[in-house]
Amino acid sequence: MPINSFDDYPLSWRPDKTKLTRPLYKSLTKLMEEDILSSKLQKNTRLPSQRELADYLDINFTTVGQAYKYGVEIGLLYTNIGSGTFVSQNALNSITISNDKVQEHIIDFGLVSSFEECNRFVIPHLEAASRNVNIASQLNYQDPLGSPHQLAIAQQWLLTQGITTNVENIATVSGVQNGLTIILMALFSPGDRIAVDRYTYSNFIELAALLHLEIVLIDFDSEGMIPDLLAKECKKKKIDGIFFMPSCNNPIGFQMSDSRRQELADIIEQERLWVIEDDIHAFLTTYSQNKVLPSFQSLLPNQTLYLAGMTKFLCSGLRVAYLVFPDSVRSLIKKACFNTNVKTSGFDASVISHILSSSTVQEILVEKYRLTKAANELFDYYFDLPRPSNDLPYYRIIPIDPAVTQGQIENDFLAKGIRLYHSNRFTTMEQKDPFIRIALSSNCLDVLDQGLAIIQKVLPAYQ
């Protein structure tokens, strides 16, 4: 019997004691999942503390801890020492962003594409590659990380982005997301922790959850992640890696300042974190600002895994990215590559190389720069909001009323033919400054114009 009577004691969750079977912790986890699913337990509610619930159930508090821990692992719960355990914002609803099941006739401001009209530049290269006399050598298992020729071209391109490396330190992977999978599988184990910006790329959050890695949110300002907060968090718990999109954070659009990069690098070096640097926006930033920003790969070459995506840059349907890794992890990275992909499509890799060594690169850069500039100006016309510190992002955010739920705003707009995403998708716990993210690069300019006009008209009801 419990020592105290809980009849009047306010517990935010009272699992049905009679349903509790052995093993206790599994049974408790199951009850919790059921109650979250049936909304008996609401999102963001605080669960009873481990000791309270244990007392109520008359079991040891660490057993409750075990049950809660599983919930944290699969992203159902999050905990804060001192303040308690909470049901996640995104418990049981997927925040994965993809182009799956888009309704017809919808304006998609959700998934960030890259001005797909530019794919016309790619088509001649497809034909050229398919007529290449050496193409047969791309259709077999040879050179699983890329041919020497392809890697040499990649190395040259990387140099223009401030990444100095050797062909032995580059692996061709099937897009950035695939590269992230390889890095996380190769260098981390279940339960490891990775620090990220308080708002970050949803699919990174989802991938980490799939691999049972814990995400640690660190706050940022306009110059990027705040070094002191990172240092503090590192002291608090063991953190193993850190994920950045330094040129242009997704969804906020901030660009890390040079000094901030250095400050963060110092802490990262001391704490020996692996840096996962997803520089998907670098191609445009380097071009538009006409200067190379100091990459973490250049600041901390021995602990940085750098991903140069070719999908947003050249073509999203050809799945290619280059993964730059330090010598120390070569065999781990290779192993993960071979065991997840075997190899990246030889044809895709050769088309991308063909483009990279042609003048098409410049044409695409000029055109994407023009379109991005125009799209941002269009956004500025409709909304009086400051540009983020990267002033040519592919997406912009608009603050909304904290009382409006994610489902409400996303579904209401979907009903009006517009897909956009609530800030909840880009984080793991409740935040004080909700917003919606509008992708600017996923439609041609007149459709963008149309869509923004609708948003401008409808949005005030949510602000």
Partner DNA sequence: CGATTTGTGTGTATACATTTG
Partner DNA sequence: TCAAATGTATACACACAAATC
Decide: is 55 part of the binding site for DNA (CB under 7 A).
no
Choose between 317 and 460: whose C-beta lies nearer to its own copies. Answer: 317
Decide: is 81 part of the binding site for DNA (CB under 7 A).
yes
- Residue 426 DSSP symbol: G
CB of 26 to DNA, least distance (A): 6
CB of 206 to its own copies, least distance (A): 5
Q: Is 432 strand, coil or helix?
A: coil
Which position has the token pair 């720069």? 369
Q: What are phi and psi of 185, to 5 degrees?
A: -70, -35
With 0-12 CB in 10 A as exposed, 13-18 as middle and 19+ as buried, what is 404?
middle
Cα–Cα distance, 193 to 72 (Å, whole number): 12
Q: Which of the listed partners (its own copies, DNA, none) does 272 bind, with a CB threshold of 5 to 8 Å by partner kind?
A: none
CB of 83 to DNA, least distance (A): 4
Q: Which of the listed partners (DNA, its own copies, none) does 175 bind, with a CB threshold of 5 to 8 Å by partner kind?
A: its own copies
Taking a C-beta distance cutoff of 8 angstroms, is the pair 113, 441 a contact?
Answer: yes
Long-range contacts of 429-432 (CB under 8 A, 24+ apart): 429/78, 429/86, 429/88, 429/89, 429/217, 430/44, 430/86, 430/89, 431/198, 431/199, 432/402
Name which position in 17, 19, 40, 237 contacts DNA (CB under 7 A). Answer: 237
Q: What are phi and psi of 375, to 5 degrees?
A: -65, -40
Extract the tokens encoding 279.
């520089």
Q: Which of the listed partners (its own copies, DNA, none) does 377 bind, with a CB threshold of 5 to 8 Å by partner kind?
A: none
Decide: is 25 part of the binding site for DNA (CB under 7 A).
yes
- Residue 108 DSSP symbol: E
Name which position in 40, 232, 272, 330 contacts DNA (CB under 7 A). Answer: 232
CB of 335 to its own copies, least distance (A): 5
Total count of residues recorded for the chain = 463
With 0-12 CB in 10 A as exposed, 13-18 as middle and 19+ as buried, what is 70?
middle
Cα–Cα distance, 135 to 131 (Å, whole number): 7
Decide: is 140 part of the binding site for DNA (CB under 7 A).
no
Cα–Cα distance, 409 to 434 (Å, whole number): 11
Decide: is 22 part of the binding site for DNA (CB under 7 A).
yes
Cα–Cα distance, 276 to 309 (Å, whole number): 13
Q: Which of the listed partners (its own copies, DNA, none) does 50 bind, with a CB threshold of 5 to 8 Å by partner kind?
A: DNA
Choose between 55 and 206: whose C-beta lies nearer to its own copies. Answer: 206
Decide: is 18 part of the binding site for DNA (CB under 7 A).
no
Decide: is 235 part of the binding site for DNA (CB under 7 A).
yes
Q: Which of the listed partners (its own copies, DNA, none) does 141 bind, with a CB threshold of 5 to 8 Å by partner kind?
A: its own copies
Decide: is 72 part of the binding site for DNA (CB under 7 A).
yes
Decide: is 322 part of the binding site for DNA (CB under 7 A).
no
CB of 442 to its own copies, least distance (A): 9
**384: how many CB neighbours lie within 10 A of its CB?**
6
Residue 197: strand pairing partners: 218
Choose between 45 and 328: whose C-beta lies nearer to its own copies. Answer: 328
Q: Which of the listed partners (its own copies, DNA, none) does 26 bind, with a CB threshold of 5 to 8 Å by partner kind?
A: DNA
Largest Cα–Cα separation, the chain? 82
Rounded to the nearest angstrom, the gap between the alpha carbon of residue 113 and the centroid of all alpha carbons in its chain is 15
Q: How many residues bind DNA (CB under 7 A)?
A: 32
Q: Which of the listed partners (its own copies, DNA, none) does 403 bind, with a CB threshold of 5 to 8 Å by partner kind?
A: none
Choose between 78 and 313: whose C-beta lies nearer to DNA. Answer: 78
Q: What are phi and psi of 425, to 5 degrees?
A: -65, -15
Name which position in 236, 272, 370, 457 contacts DNA (CB under 7 A). Answer: 236
Alpha carbon distance, N-terminus to C-terminus of the chain: 51
Choose between 168 and 228: whose C-beta lies nearer to DNA. Answer: 228
Q: What are phi and psi of 41, to 5 degrees?
A: -110, 115
Q: Which of the listed partners (DNA, its own copies, none) does 235 bind, with a CB threshold of 5 to 8 Å by partner kind?
A: DNA
Position 340: which residue type? T
Beta-carbon contacts of 166 under 8 Å, excluding residues fewer than 6 positions away, are 155
Restricted to residues 83-102, the positions that interact with DNA (CB under 7 A) are 83-85
Q: Which of the listed partners (DNA, its own copies, none) does 98 bind, with a CB threshold of 5 to 8 Å by partner kind?
A: its own copies
Choose between 26 and 387: whose C-beta lies nearer to DNA. Answer: 26
Name which position in 11, 33, 59, 266 contacts DNA (CB under 7 A). Answer: 59
CB of 44 to DNA, least distance (A): 14
Name which position in 4, 17, 19, 26 contacts DNA (CB under 7 A). Answer: 26
Binding site for its own copies (CB under 8 A): 94, 96-100, 111, 113, 116, 119-120, 122-123, 126-127, 129-131, 135-136, 138-145, 174-175, 177-178, 181, 185-186, 189-190, 203, 206-207, 210-212, 311, 315-319, 331, 334-336, 338-348, 351
Cα–Cα distance, 189 to 207 (Å, whole number): 13
Which spans of this chain sit near DNA (rule: CB under 7 A)? 22-26, 47, 49-52, 59-63, 65-66, 68-69, 72, 79-85, 232, 235-238
